[in-house]
Amino acid sequence: MGKEQFYRTMYRMKKITAVGVWEKVDEGELTKAQALRICGPRPKES
């Protein structure tokens, strides 16, 4: 299972949030394109 598939599964199971997915982009673990496919655009900060 690749990283994208792993995070997609975790996101669908609500084990990680969209914010968490985008944190993985900031850490260099996922690309922006992968994050967009997993959860859509980066959530706006409040």
Residue 44 lies in a domain: no
pTM listed for this prediction: 0.90
Say if 46 falls within a structural domain: no
Q: What confidence tens digit (pLDDT) does each residue in 7-19 have?
A: 999 999 999 999 9
Exposed e or buried b per residue across 11-39, where buried means at least 16 C-beta atoms within 10 angstroms of its C-beta: beeeebeeeebbebbeeeebeeebbeebb
* Residue 28: inside a domain: yes
Is the pLDDT confidence value at 45 over 90? no
Range of the domain at 35: 3-39
Q: Which two tokens stand for residue 26?
A: 């900031």
